[in-house]
Amino acid sequence: MTIAIGFSTGALFRDQLALGVEASRTLGLRSVELSALRYRELAGLIAFAEANDLSDFLHVSVHAPTDFTPDMEESVISSLRPLATERHWFVVVHPDCMTRDDLWSQLGDRLCVENMDKRKPVGRTLEELRSLFTRFPDAGFCFDIGHAHQVDPSMTEACRILREFAYRICQLHVSEVTSSSKHDRLSKGVLKAFREVADLLPVNAPAILETPVDVEEAREEVRKVETLLQARTHAFA
């Protein structure tokens, strides 16, 4: 099993973070993303992180909520900050949620900005990402290859983004993203498109799957991603 591959807990067990972590262990995975996409899940994630030892995983990240309002932003960052500064976990954030640059900058290089799907007003193209990394020069990059494919199925924009910002990548998000911006299992067609840019993906970046599957189906999704990542050739410090 490739140690760089893992699952988002929300993909395996929506709203049941502990089951998602245990499923990752059952699958023999060494990377995991703790998902709290909804603000109501954040307190439970923080409590779980404080009460559990995740040192058996080589890579742990946290996906910040995406549904909070600007008046809740300071509270969200305050909750996430110890995971970034004390656990040294990456915190994946959707850039359309980030209005307080001064607060998000406190996460330093543990802040991991994700490129967006076509619904969002920022973070979709190379130019929009340049603007974001100007605002957050220390931030890492969560490259969502499914989002990039949905925005431009030719993968031309993905290639442009990777040529400029591959060195910032701290993890990958992998899934098929439908026209309605839903995560789906990886089809042969989308994997063929992903292979167009696979040689630009850094070999040392963990891949987090967001495909909605059960534990048995997860094994096949992992196999698909292992095959895709064999084409990676670049390494960045």
Q: Is residue 237 part of a domain?
A: no
Band (pLDDT 50/70/90 cuts) for residue 231 is confident
Burial class (CB in 10 A: 0-12, 13-18, 19+), 180: exposed
Q: What is the pLDDT of residues 50-62, one digit of tens each?
A: 999 999 999 999 9
pLDDT of residue 187: 97
Tokens found for residue 74: 């300071």
Angle, helices 126-135 vs 156-165, to 10°: value is 30
pLDDT at 74 over 60: yes
Give the CATH number for residue 199. 3.20.20.150
pLDDT of residue 237: 46
Q: Is residue 236 part of a domain?
A: no
Helix and strand totals (H; E) in the chain: 10, 10
The domain tally of the chain equals 1
* Containing structural domain, residue 194: 5-229
pLDDT of residue 104: 98
User: Can you give the pTM of this predicted structure?
Assistant: 0.95
Phi, psi of 128 (to 5 degrees): -70, -35
Task: Label the pairing between strands 176-177 and 183-184.
Answer: antiparallel
SS3 state of residue 123 = coil
pLDDT of residue 100: 96
pLDDT of residue 1: 43
Q: Is residue 179 part of a domain?
A: yes
Mean pLDDT of the chain: 95
Q: Calculate mean pLDDT across residues 97-115.
A: 97
- Sign of the Cα torsion 221, 224, 228, 229 reads positive
